[in-house]
Amino acid sequence: MSIPGSMKHRIIFALVLMGFSGLVAQIVLLRELMVAFHGNELSIAVVLANWLLLEAAGARFLGSKMSAAGQGRGLFILVTVLFSVFFIAAVYGSRVFKEFLNLVPGEGLGIMPMFYISFIILLPVSVLHGALFTSGCRLYSKYSARQTVGGDVGGDAGGHVGGDVDSHVDGHGNSRDDGNGADGGAGSIARVYIWETVGTLVGGLALTYLLIPLLHSVSIAIVLAVMNFIACILLLPQFWKEAVPTGERVGGIMLYLLAGFSVFLLTSGGAERIHDHSVRKQWREQNVVHYQNSHYGNIVVVESHDEYTFFSDGLPVITTPNPNLVFVEEFVHFPMLSHPYPQDVLVLSGGAGGVISEILKHGVRRIDYSEIDPHIPAVIEKFPTSLTEKELADDRVNISHTDGRFYLKRTDQRYDVILSGFTDPSSLQANRFFTREFFSLVTSRLAPEGIFVVGLPGSLTYMSPELADLNAMALATLGEVFPYVEVIPGDGLNFYLASGSKEISTVGAEEMTARAGERDISFSLITPGYLEYRLHERWGDWFRENIREVEGRVNADFRPLGVFFSLVWWNEKFSPAFNSIFRHSERINLPLMAGIFLAMISIFLVAASRIRQPLKPALSLCIVSTGFAGMLFDLILIFAFQVLFGYIFYWLGLLVTAFMAGVMAGGMWMAARIKKADNVMPLLIRLEVALIVFAFLLPVIFLRAGPLLALPWFDILLRIVFLLLSFLSGMLVGAEFPLANREYLRLSHDIGSTAGLLYSADLWGGWIGGILGGVLLLPVLGLVQTSLVIVMFKVGGLVVLLFAARAQSARG
């Protein structure tokens, strides 16, 4: 008997939509949580790791239970519906969780709260989506197995993978391979993997270029629900007929009702009301007058009594017309009065709303102004105040709608004073303005007596070890580039003034007061007495004494220690119980990682020598290490893109899409190779070697690329290179899954357990890579040494695989 092709095509459509839904849900929730966690890119690693961990649990446990239950279509439909509903709830929850935790907008979070909050929000969505893969493999295999034995089932994506199906359907309707059915079972798993990846690829492109530009997250989630409900309806054809079981008939009616209600929400303004309500809850009922997701992040404007506060990724950057006078006057006038004749000034972030106004008091010739998010100046113009209108309308003020580092690379202007409004390297985007490479760029754009100023968290009463590490890092990094660095300690912020001129070290309160008089400057706060107090030598002595025994480590673009030390400092305030463990991670180094891998591989080899089928755990370890490598390839590319360009918020979907396109290509390529190969072990070994070589070469590209970004055409070329590298890494990772499945299925003969085990092993490896690599290895070891950790893990996995293959062969 032959099953009508229409049902098989409907199952394929459902599988493609499964991949589409997973990618859209992952990226949308990642963006929402990234905003909730103040744009900290380390949260990308935490969220992705939790997503993979929960998907692994869903695939291994819930999916396996679903496969064993025998009600393939019905359970697949039920889980798809639940996934769609919980995705809408997760979007809402990612915005309102702070209300339940009694957190105020702008309040920071430590790494542990990031972990458990994202874990709880993702729990139902990720577990259900992971279960869909295992269930989908069983469902697809069941219908394929009912085709005429020997018929070609290779017309699906990837071609005929591994030969004809020779399997049976047991009394429960489950497909179980007999002794000769490994090829067919591996082919079914490979084809489901490929169809899911096709959906992921389409989802990434649709999300980036269609859904995100046109819809907010709530509407995206509801549109996705409609698509899934329609796919489920297609899996229940003619459910209204009397011959159809009552459960199917009721399910079909419910699906029509759910789809109709979702369409009603989209067309009646219900989705908008849910969005507006969640934003109000997110901002604790403050008057949010503007909410926007730009290429660089999330921009929110809150109004209160004719005062506007502009937030970038949940953190305040500008308040007008009543700014923080203490910060504004100290930030501007300390460096401006330290310079004998400042004429050309550059402001990097936080210029509008007071800073520019104070600079103009010095009679400058030119002010160039760039924001952390180039869209912020345009938003400021939508909500003008008397202060910002006066500042931005001045002919001497030039607004650059581009990233600050890009602006510095491409301008030929030399500045007397450059003011960096970034006050904490808490994210990779901000850390780009605290690194050795950035400070070197600044020196090339300073005039001979030019001064650079930047602030960092400080205190005049107690310098905690975490704060000492952060400030020692800044001092060491500045000291590598500038011959003269002066620190003005403060209660809240320490100001660092750096220059190539030694005059910066000789200017005191008396000379500053004289220069202020010559320039006829009026202050709200600064007086001669205040200058004497703030610049008194006892504060400098106190500061140097507190960091005297602290090792000042240099912060670099591709070794972002600033992010790590800032995170340690935030953990101390908001997650102190975990911080002692987190601080010890600073001691991680390559010899330690080599020792850990050596011990792990030794244990694995001893265990494998004592079991009957050593190849099974070796294949699982191989997939775990590839999942680990794949996650770190993803994170290395994401982190490097943010360091070089600064707008990963927009390109996140594109990089993930390119990676998944590579996964699809690798799966299809290897599926064709499997068909022609009697023994896949040589292919698997060569692929392991290719992954090792790729991990070794990856960081070299970025280390060479940074200095060339000043060339007008090179940034376009480099973005293309990022996409190609994402594609290639995905191709290498995706090619391994069908190979391992084929070899493992030859030993186990069970599609459901093989798919669930290896799929979850892949995801477990990704989770380890996300938590260990994204939160610790990349910030502490940097890009180069983290790539070498990948090499070590893959080499260890290859050694175990070779040993197990030889042992398995010897035992017949």
Residues ≥6 apart with Cβ < 8 Å to 216: 275, 293
Tell whether omega for the bond before 321 is within 30 degrees of 0, i.e. cis. yes
On the question of pLDDT at 514 being above 90, the answer is: yes
Mean pLDDT of 394-423: 91
Q: What are the phi and psi torsion angles at 441 (to 5°)?
A: -65, -40
Distance set, CA 56 to CA 93, 306, 766 (Å): 22, 50, 10
Per DSSP, the residues of 227-287 read HHHHHHHHTSTTTTSTTS-HHHHHHHHHHHHHHHHHHHHHHHTHHHHHHHHHHHHHTTT-E
On the question of pLDDT at 151 being above 60, the answer is: no
Secondary structure (3-state) at 44: helix
Given a contact cutoff of 8 angstroms between Cβ atoms, the answer to whether 99 and 284 are in contact is yes
The confidence score (pLDDT) of residue 69 equals 64
Say how far apart CA 267 and CA 273 lie, in whole Å.
Answer: 12
The confidence score (pLDDT) of residue 163 equals 31
Say how far apart CA 543 and CA 211 lie, in whole Å.
Answer: 51
pLDDT in tens, 80-119: 999 999 999 999 999 999 888 877 776 767 778 888 999 9
The confidence score (pLDDT) of residue 362 equals 95
The confidence score (pLDDT) of residue 152 equals 36
* Single-letter amino acid code for the residue at 528: P
Radius of gyration of the chain (CA): 29
Confidence class of residue 239 from pLDDT cuts 50, 70 and 90? low
The one-character DSSP state at 520 is T
Residue, of 320 and 150, whose pLDDT is higher:
320
Among the ranges given (189-198, 374-383, 503-512), the one the predictor scored with the smallest mean pLDDT: 189-198
Mean pLDDT of 718-741: 90
Mean pLDDT of 472-498: 95
pLDDT in tens, 596-629: 889 988 888 888 778 878 888 888 899 999 999 9
Residues ≥6 apart with Cβ < 8 Å to 254: none
Say how far apart CA 771 and CA 115 lie, in whole Å.
Answer: 9
Q: Tokens 């010897």 identify what position?
A: 810
Distance set, CA 521 to CA 105, 336, 346, 513 (Å): 36, 11, 20, 10
Given a contact cutoff of 8 angstroms between Cβ atoms, the answer to whether 335 and 453 are in contact is yes
Stated as kind and residue range, the H or E segment containing 337 is helix 325-338
CB count, 10 Å around CB of 68?
Answer: 12
Mean pLDDT of 568-584: 75
Distance set, CA 783 to CA 411, 431, 556, 774 (Å): 29, 15, 10, 10
Among the ranges given (133-137, 244-248, 448-452), the one the predictor scored with the smallest mean pLDDT: 244-248
Mean pLDDT of 136-145: 75
Say how far apart CA 127 and CA 121 lie, in whole Å.
Answer: 11
Confidence class of residue 219 from pLDDT cuts 50, 70 and 90? very high
On the question of pLDDT at 584 being above 80, the answer is: no
The confidence score (pLDDT) of residue 752 equals 59
Mean pLDDT of 329-352: 94
On the question of pLDDT at 270 being above 80, the answer is: yes
- Residue ranges of alpha helices (H) inside 159-216 are 182-206, 212-214
Confidence class of residue 177 from pLDDT cuts 50, 70 and 90? very low
Say how far apart CA 505 and CA 518 lie, in whole Å.
Answer: 21
Q: Tokens 């501007």 identify what position?
A: 332
The confidence score (pLDDT) of residue 337 equals 95
Residue, of 708 and 571, whose pLDDT is higher:
571
Secondary structure (3-state) at 161: coil
Distance set, CA 782 to CA 557, 645, 699, 789 (Å): 9, 18, 10, 11
Mean pLDDT of 505-511: 90
pLDDT in tens, 287-302: 999 998 877 788 899 9
What are the structure tokens assigned to 535, written together? 């610049």
Among the ranges given (464-468, 520-524, 800-804, 806-810), the one the predictor scored with the smallest mean pLDDT: 806-810
Instruction: Give the CA dihedral 396, 397, 402, 407, nearest 10 degrees.
Output: 40
Residue, of 583 and 803, whose pLDDT is higher:
803
Among the ranges given (241-245, 644-648, 741-745, 805-809), the one the predictor scored with the smallest mean pLDDT: 241-245
The confidence score (pLDDT) of residue 625 equals 93
Among the ranges given (170-179, 226-235, 519-528, 555-564), the one the predictor scored with the smallest mean pLDDT: 170-179
Confidence class of residue 160 from pLDDT cuts 50, 70 and 90? very low
| Mean pLDDT for the chain overall | 84
What are the structure tokens assigned to 623, written together? 């997939």
Say how far apart CA 577 and CA 41 lie, in whole Å.
Answer: 22
On the question of pLDDT at 184 being above 70, the answer is: no
pLDDT in tens, 525-574: 888 999 999 999 999 999 999 998 888 899 999 999 999 898 888 877 77
Tell me the percentage of the chain whose pLDDT exceeds 70. Answer: 88
Confidence class of residue 157 from pLDDT cuts 50, 70 and 90? very low
The confidence score (pLDDT) of residue 238 equals 63
Burial level of 428, CB count in 10 A (0-12/13-18/19+)? buried
The confidence score (pLDDT) of residue 166 equals 30
On the question of pLDDT at 795 being above 60, the answer is: yes
Distance set, CA 467 to CA 463, 473, 492 (Å): 6, 10, 11
On the question of pLDDT at 171 being above 60, the answer is: no
Q: Tokens 């320490």 identify what position?
A: 494
Q: Tokens 């069941």 identify what position?
A: 142
On the question of pLDDT at 181 being above 60, the answer is: no
On the question of pLDDT at 71 being above 80, the answer is: no
Mean pLDDT of 322-337: 92
Q: What are the phi and psi torsion angles at 58 (to 5°)?
A: -65, -45
Tell me the percentage of the chain whose pLDDT exceeds 90. Answer: 40
Confidence class of residue 186 from pLDDT cuts 50, 70 and 90? low
pTM for this entry: 0.82
Confidence class of residue 2 from pLDDT cuts 50, 70 and 90? very low
Instruction: Give the CA dihedral 686, 692, 697, 698, nearest 10 degrees.
Output: 110
Q: How many CA atoms lie within 13 A of 218 on its CB side?
A: 19
